[in-house]
Amino acid sequence: MKLRITILTLLFGLFAIGAAAQSTQSDYEIQKSFKTQYAEYEQKVEQLSSPDSAQALKTSIREFEQKYNKHADLLDKALYPDTYEQRIEKLKKSSVVAMNRLQTMKQQTKKLEKLETQLTSYENDLQQLNKRTDSLQNAMQESIQSEKKLSAMLREYRQSLEKRDELILAFIDSMVIAYQEMDLQKLDDLENIDQKSRLESDGDALKMIHNISVENLDILQKNAQNLRLQDYMRMADVQQQFEKMWSRLGDKITEVYDGENAKEMASEVDQKINKWNQMLKEQTLTSLKDTLAENNIAVGGFETSDEFYSSLNSYLDNKVKKSKENASKAGYNDFTNFKSFWNEIEVQWANNFVDAGLLSQPQMATLNAKVDNWAEHAQPRSNNLLVYLLGASVLLAVALGVMLIREKKGKRNA
Amino acid sequence: MKLVIRKIAAMGLLFALIVTGCKQSMVISKVDYSQSIESVLTPDENGVVKDVQHGLTFNILPLQYAETQDTSSVTTNEVRYIRGKEGFYYITAPNYKNVYVMAPEKSKLKLKKKLSISETGIAQPALNQRSTFIQLVNQSSGESWELSPENAVKQESQMAKTGDQ
């Protein structure tokens, strides 16, 4: 019993001391300490660098709130016109916003790391393909005498370029997926917090895009004789996709670039793409001239896309007119040649022609209509009617002959 | 003559009524002057403290003289004051033995009461506004006093300690 009383007395004493200590705090110190700690928390929220630290800070803010809850009335006065609750809510809200922001940033960092790995892989593949095409080009120059060997190498070389274009298209797809939903503001924040989180220059998208534009231009300049219309059409497709990707994401990619000369590189990419476009158009027109000549299609000369349309138009008008006047076998051969050439363009490359600015959609429609019109009149007319008339005459003569013979026989019998 | 005296008396009465009527001033009662949180101020080299928040500036040297009988230099770097409900200022500083209750007057603070707290002085004083009184706390010892314009009562022992002027 005595022990219980002693314990209770001790507990009461401790409680009394605690209560006394509680009541002898300075209001001034309490509010000062709250304001100081609040400012520290605000700073901590600003300086958060990971979702884990944000979570820890949230817990700490809850403890901070619990600690000062009992002084709410005093702090309402000290924080006027704000209230204690408003301030705490504000702090909690900023910590939640910071945590969400950091979580998004973490996800973006992962995306960037994945992209970096992809880019490195693309770069390696591209380098290998470039080496292969270079060695093939050298081999072609060396074995220029052996036509058969050269032809095989040329085929291989063009296949290699085709693979390279496929790789670039895959790269473009990756870039579009990776950068499309990327928040630039968050990337800036990411940069501020951790410089290392940026892409290393070895796997940097801008550098790779710059390299691709330079290499593609180089391929066009060096291989004018080795490429055919279908190569140019495929290249035009790649160029258009590349240009589209660059115009949509160029700013973001430049922003993310780690190096110092980002703007210069981006400007160079613009120039290269324009030059690439121009050169591709010129060489495609030259290739078209060769293809038309190979197919014995004698259209007038052209240097620009407008002239190309005019030449085709005049050629078709002329051919349609001739066919209407006198559809000959030679004219029909011309039609077959042209139809074969035109079918390839219409079926396979119509969109590329339009996208590359070689022919517009209405121009394509006009030419199609003229080709159809030519088809109606191209076939030489046959002399079937004469044959039928002759046949009918022969049959009539035979029938009359038979009737005459029967009549004579009848008279004899009578 | 009597009529004249009566007239003069009536006029005088009327004048007195007019004058007293004009002199009546408006009074707002039940004013609460209480300051929620004490002000902690640092005096300059002349002993002047300035509370921008509450619009009050005064010199502490008279208080320092009352406390130490020395005004050759400013001997404290902190002055704490709080205003009570009735409008009196409770002023003290670290190691002061007293709390000075000052009444505001035109361009001056007049000592209403010197509340003697401790013979040795309070090392870390703090003044809190409570619903019916001002609380003086010695932060280093945990002791506290209940202050009113007239007296200081130690809260733990409930012993009244009244200081004289």
- Mean pLDDT lowest among A295-304, B18-27, B39-48, B98-107: B18-27
B154–chain A nearest CA distance, Å: 12
- The residue among A198 and B105 whose pLDDT is bigger is B105
Model confidence pLDDT, tens digit, residues A341-383: 888 888 877 887 888 788 888 988 898 888 888 888 877 766 5
Q: Give the nearest partner residue to B126 out of A26, A74, A78, using CB atoms.
A: A26
Chain A interface, mutation test: which of B32, B34, B35, B37, most A Cβ atoms within 10 Å? B37
User: Confidence class of residue A16 from pLDDT cuts 50, 70 and 90?
Assistant: very low
- ipTM score assigned to the predicted complex: 0.78
Contacts of A90-93 spanning 24+ positions with Cβ under 8 A: A91/A38, A91/A41, A91/A42, A91/A45, A91/A61, A92/A58, A92/A61, A92/A65
A87–chain B nearest CA distance, Å: 19
- Mean pLDDT lowest among A175-179, A182-186, A272-276, A357-361: A182-186
Confidence (pTM): 0.52
Interchain contact B131–A (C-beta under 8 A): no
Do A158 and A228 contact (CB within 8 A), yes or no? yes
Contact: A28, B38; criterion CB under 8 Å: yes
Interchain contact B144–A (C-beta under 8 A): yes
Domains of chain B, residue spans: 39-161
Model confidence pLDDT, tens digit, residues A190-213: 444 444 444 443 457 788 788 888
Model confidence pLDDT, tens digit, residues A217-256: 888 887 777 777 878 888 888 888 888 888 877 887 787 7
Contact: B126, A77; criterion CB under 8 Å: no
State the Cα–Cα distance between residues A183 and A111, nearest whole angstrom: 12
Interchain contact B128–A (C-beta under 8 A): yes
Q: Give the nearest partner residue to A20 out of B36, B80, B142, using CB atoms.
A: B142
Q: Per-residue pLDDT for A266 more than 80?
A: yes
Predicted pLDDT at B1: 55
A219 three-state secondary structure: helix
* Closest residue, chain B, to A21 (C-alpha): B142
Cβ-based contacts of B80 with chain A (< 8 Å): 28
Distance of alpha carbon A360 from the chain centroid: 22
Q: Residues in chain A, how many?
A: 414
A25–chain B nearest CA distance, Å: 7
Q: Give the nearest partner residue to A21 out of B80, B129, B142, using CB atoms.
A: B142
User: What is the overall mean pLDDT for chain A?
Assistant: 79
Residue B37 sits at φ, ψ, to 5 deg, of -130, 140
A41–chain B nearest CA distance, Å: 23
Residue B120 tokens, joined:
């040795």
Q: Around Cβ A304, how many Cβ atoms within 10 Å?
A: 12
Q: Per-residue pLDDT for B18 more than 80?
A: no
Predicted pLDDT at A199: 40
Predicted pLDDT at B44: 96
- The residue among A272 and A157 whose pLDDT is bigger is A272
Interchain contact B48–A (C-beta under 8 A): no
Cβ-based contacts of B127 with chain A (< 8 Å): 26, 28
